[in-house]
A and B are shown apart, each in its own frame.
Chain A
């Protein structure tokens, strides 16, 4: 299995809602990532998990809360979002071997719209 699976594919939520994005991979990758991508822009890193521990938080607002229940799963919990948080949210995984990053496998993303 060489895929990263993200659910849901589309999500519309109100500013008072609580929702979660889910990501799953079975490639044995020990690094997993959340990225945010606005239209016509490159992906922006949000969080990095390495061996199920949060290793990088790119100063993301607390209304985004990541969770890594095990080595295959990554969640992003959303609460009290703003309309400007509407974007494509991408999950990715990778293997870093002897300090070399050989590339990410991205999921198809969740298109989030905050109304």
Chain B
């Protein structure tokens, strides 16, 4: 059972465009994290959101946690080729927070 549905799975856009990646679940999470992974490397933590309705900004990236703590979004403004990579959302369950549930990932390509 896939508890975190991430969409889209693939996205290819031109430099300068905006995009949004979604992560949805019917389960409530105690926290939700976004990671970015380059080929042959481990995922790198971008942000953790904990409070329902929370919005965090990291330069051109904006992360939002849904009010009910069941969903999240990642919005990138004015995408750049350096944003290319695999973006993964991951939720920590309320019971057993050590174990993360990963979404299937969004493979993002930004074309110059």
* A and B associate in one complex: yes
Bound Cα distance A31, B88 (Å):
21
B31 interface residue per 8 A CB criterion: yes
Q: Is the CB of A103 within 8 A of B45?
A: yes
| B44: A residues at CB distance < 8 A | 106
Binds A, one of B12-20, B58-66, B102-110: B102-110
Per-residue A-contact encoding for B90-112, CB less than 8 Å = 1, 0 else: 10101001111011110100000
- B94 neighbours in A (Cβ, 8 Å): 99
A-side interface mostly: strand
B99 pairs with A45, CB closer than 8 A: yes
Q: Is B80 part of the contact surface with A, judged by Cβ < 8 Å? A: no
Q: Closest residue of chain B to A6, judged by CB?
A: B42
In the bound assembly, the distance between CA atoms of A108 and B99 in angstroms comes to 20
Q: Does A100 contact B (CB under 8 A)?
A: yes
Asked if A43 CB lies within 8 Å of chain B CBs, one says yes
Q: Is the CB of B98 within 8 A of A31?
A: yes
- With known contacts A42-B103, A88-B40, A99–B97 Cβ distance under 8 A: yes
* Chain A: interface residue total (CB-CB under 8 A): 30
Closest CB-CB distance, A46 to chain B, in whole Å? 11
Identify the closest chain B residue to A55 (Cβ). B98
**Can you offer 27 A-B residue contacts whose CB atoms are under 8 A?**
A4-B42, A33-B98, A41-B104, A43-B43, A43-B88, A45-B99, A45-B100, A48-B98, A55-B98, A88-B40, A99-B94, A99-B97, A100-B31, A100-B50, A100-B92, A100-B97, A101-B48, A101-B97, A102-B31, A103-B33, A104-B33, A104-B90, A105-B45, A106-B35, A107-B42, A109-B42, A111-B40
Chain B residues engaging chain A, CB cutoff 8 angstroms = 30-31, 33, 35, 40-45, 48, 50, 88, 90, 92, 94, 97-100, 102-105, 107
Please give 14 more A-B residue pairs, beta carbons under 8 A apart, in addition to A100-B31, A109-B42: A6-B42, A40-B107, A48-B98, A50-B98, A55-B98, A56-B98, A94-B98, A99-B94, A101-B97, A102-B48, A104-B43, A104-B45, A108-B42, A111-B40
Instruction: Give the B-binding residues of A (Cβ under 8 A).
Output: 4, 6, 31, 33, 40-43, 45, 48, 50, 55-56, 88, 90, 92, 94, 96, 99-109, 111
